[in-house]
């Protein structure tokens, strides 16, 4: 029995490396969106297939972390031909690099309810350290199930697609597609029972 309990405790440590409060991403109410300039207008799009592990406790940031994976092929800009072009070697090369990831290494507190997640953004073959500011909305009991607690996060940040090799700059030089991408991520997560 003692042996069983010790194995159980060890497994719990292994399965939750950050060992903070784990939240389950509610993908039905979370969004990964982006906007990019096309000559004058801003083309918006989103990725519908993504997953993430969220460990967040504002009182214990040392044991908090974010680990997100987005499936590139799920890109949707409302135009099927453009989406397939974005999946092609001209941009994401989705067949070769099917995912983009962000894995936080450190979370620090800013002012009020703002925080900064510093970690590694990996897109195609490029991995870069990025500091992503985000807003923590706190927690609230779910209006649908009072026993369940909901939390929420929002972030907006810019990244340079050419830094990650998303395109070779040809369309940017032509003045057609911008290089700066505005990324908006809105997250709702539920407490893990």
Partner 1 sequence: MNKNGPKNRGHGFAMVILTLVSAGLLSGVLLPFFFESQSLYYKFGMEKAMLQWGKAAGFMAVTLMVVQVVLVSRFSFLVTSFSLARLLSLHKYTGVLICLLVMVHPFLILGADGFVFFPLELRYWSEFTGVFLAFSILIVAGLSLWRRALKFPVRSWLRLHRLATPAIVVLALVHARTVSETFDHVLPGIWLGIIAIIALVLFARIYFKRFSGN
Give contact residues for partner 1 (rule: CB under 8 A). 73-74, 76, 80-81, 84-85, 87-90, 93-95, 171, 176
- Cβ 84 to partner 1 shortest distance, Å: 6
- Cβ 175 to partner 1 shortest distance, Å: 13
Q: Closer to partner 1 by CB, 150 or 177: give it.
A: 177
Q: Which DSSP string corresponds to 77-111?
A: -S-HHHHHHHHSTTTT-TTT--EEEEEEEEEEE-S
Structure tokens at 63: 């044991």
Q: Closer to partner 1 by CB, 93 or 154: give it.
A: 93
- Cβ 184 to partner 1 shortest distance, Å: 22
Q: Closer to partner 1 by CB, 48 or 148: give it.
A: 48
Quote the CA–CA distance of 86 and 75 in Å, as a whole number: 8
CB 30 within 8 A of CB 188: yes
- Cβ 149 to partner 1 shortest distance, Å: 34
Q: Closer to partner 1 by CB, 54 or 94: give it.
A: 94
Quote the CA–CA distance of 102 and 122 in Å, as a whole number: 6
Residues 6+ apart with CB under 8 A from 24: 54, 189, 190, 191, 192
Q: Closer to partner 1 by CB, 80 or 111: give it.
A: 80
- Cβ 89 to partner 1 shortest distance, Å: 5
């Amino acid at each position: 029995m003692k042996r069983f309990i010790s194995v159980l405790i060890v497994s719990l440590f292994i399965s939750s490396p950050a060992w903070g409060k784990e939240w389950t991403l509610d993908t039905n109410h979370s969004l990964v969106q982006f906007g990019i300039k096309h000559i004058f207008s801003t083309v918006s799009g989103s990725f519908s297939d993504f997953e993430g592990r969220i460990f967040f406790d504002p009182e214990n940031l040392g044991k908090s972390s974010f680990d997100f994976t987005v499936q590139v092929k799920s890109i949707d800009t409302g135009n099927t031909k453009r989406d397939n072009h974005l999946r092609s070697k001209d941009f994401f090369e989705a067949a070769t690099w099917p995912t983009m990831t962000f894995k936080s290494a450190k979370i620090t507190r800013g002012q009020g309810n703002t925080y900064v997640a510093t970690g590694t953004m990996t897109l195609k073959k490029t991995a870069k350290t990025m500091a992503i500011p985000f807003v923590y909305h706190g927690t609230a009991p779910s209006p649908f199930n009072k026993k369940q607690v909901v939390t929420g996060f929002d972030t907006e940040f810019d990244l340079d697609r050419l830094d990650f090799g998303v395109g070779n700059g040809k369309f940017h030089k032509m003045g057609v597609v911008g290089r700066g991408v505005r990324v908006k991520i809105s997250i709702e997560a539920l407490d893990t029972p």
